[in-house]
Homo-oligomer: A and B are copies of this chain.
Amino acid sequence: MNGSTDQVSLPARIAEPGEGITLDELRLAARNHAMPLEALRYEITPVGLHYLLVHYDIPDHDPAAWRLAVDGAVDHPLTLDAKALRVRPRAAHTVTLECAGNGRALLEPRPLSQPWLDGAVGTARWGGTPLAPLLREAGLRPGAVEVLFTGADHGLERGVEQTYARSLPLAEALRPDVLLADTMNGGPLPPQHGAPLRLLVPGWYGMAQVKWLSRVTVLTEPYDGFQQTTAYRYKQQADDPGEPVTRIGPRALMIPPGFPDFMSRARVAAPGDQLLTGRAWTGRPPVTAVEVSTDGGVSWQRAELGPPADTYGWRAWRYRWPAPAEGLHHLAVRASDASGRTQPTGQAWNRQGMGNNMAQEVDVLIRNSQEPTGS
């Protein structure tokens, strides 16, 4: 009965060549979840299909006891309860959120963490009160440079005991579309998405969208906590400080055509024209192009784009694939955005598996139905 942390919280590591998915990764995959790709058909992702990542445990929340503190470099520190928040001005935005680790488990070699394949995304209608007026009411003091957001979820990570916290540069925190959100798709915020209150920073990866928000602290020095300076960095070596993970890179996903095999999720579709559809998004909007390849990436064709769901909401795309031959075909899709970024067709590896927006590849077998008659 040894009481050291070493037993329960180990340093990060990269999978060995050929190493299968570990039990640690499976435990994370079982409780967190991606959006099933057929749910790309919904412009607003239904609750329960939106991707979910909970760093530690979903906190137990007592509505009567909950308070939001606004403190730090402000003239008038504030404490608000649920009622005080409800009477403030309201706003709502349709926003696509994506985990910075989406695509991690596709990397070679594979960084060991939440083992996302490609579905760590979702789009919801988030409602709440804008943050900027609240900060102005509190009175920003000269020298304010960042705003720190502290949640209520508590745990250990690589040996560091912590309550989840992330900061934003002051200019980002003062954007008019940054919300303290308490509704999702018109209903109360579900526990797993941060009830009673979460931060919403349209365009940024999920780590910035602090859930179970309890404290907003104006800082005069940049925050150097674990989730800011150790986790969520693009880096090649363990001792490399790396670059911060911020906005979402462009990505398009397609609804895998036809129907799946249960175990392999391999796809089979009937002969005839195939209408390929999906959604594309970016944190530097708008998405300017979606291209589809039906020959394994040799050639690319422009897909037709629908309107964006909102400034930071995904947009639908479609591409008619005329009567492919029977047999196995290799499809791929990639998006480009207003910043000039295009999804790569190969991986851009980094040690934490962040921002891997490599183009999606989907194999599909075209063949006639083999379902027994009458079943």
A160: min CB distance to chain B, Å: 8
In which size bucket is the chain A interface? 35 or more
State which residues 45-77 of A face B: CB under 8 Å: 46-50, 52, 54-58, 60
Given known contacts A8-B261, A116-B30, A119-B30, A192 and B36 CB-to-CB distance under 8 angstroms = yes
A263: min CB distance to chain B, Å: 5
Q: Give the distance in Å from the alpha carbon of A105 to the alpha carbon of B249 in the complex.
A: 35
State which residues 338-374 of A face B: CB under 8 Å: 365-367, 369-372
- State which of A20-28, A281-289, A315-323 sits at the interface with chain B: A20-28
Q: Which residues of B contact A371 (CB under 8 A)?
A: 154, 161-163
Contacting A30 at CB < 8 Å: which of B29, B264, B328?
B29
Q: Which residues of B contact A38 (CB under 8 A)?
A: 57-58, 60
Given known contacts A22-B21, A46-B190, A268-B8, A156 and B3 CB-to-CB distance under 8 angstroms = no
Q: Which residues of B contact A34 (CB under 8 A)?
A: 30-31
Contacting A9 at CB < 8 Å: which of B22, B29, B266?
B266
A327 within 8 A of B: yes
Q: What are 21 A-B contacts defined by CB distance under 8 Å?
A: A1-B327, A3-B328, A3-B365, A7-B365, A8-B264, A24-B265, A26-B105, A26-B115, A27-B117, A28-B263, A28-B265, A30-B33, A31-B34, A33-B52, A47-B48, A47-B190, A57-B260, A155-B262, A156-B260, A158-B262, A161-B369
Give the top 10 A-B pairs by smallest Cβ distance, nearest first: A20-B20, A1-B327, A48-B48, A8-B266, A21-B21, A33-B33, A29-B29, A157-B262, A156-B261, A3-B367
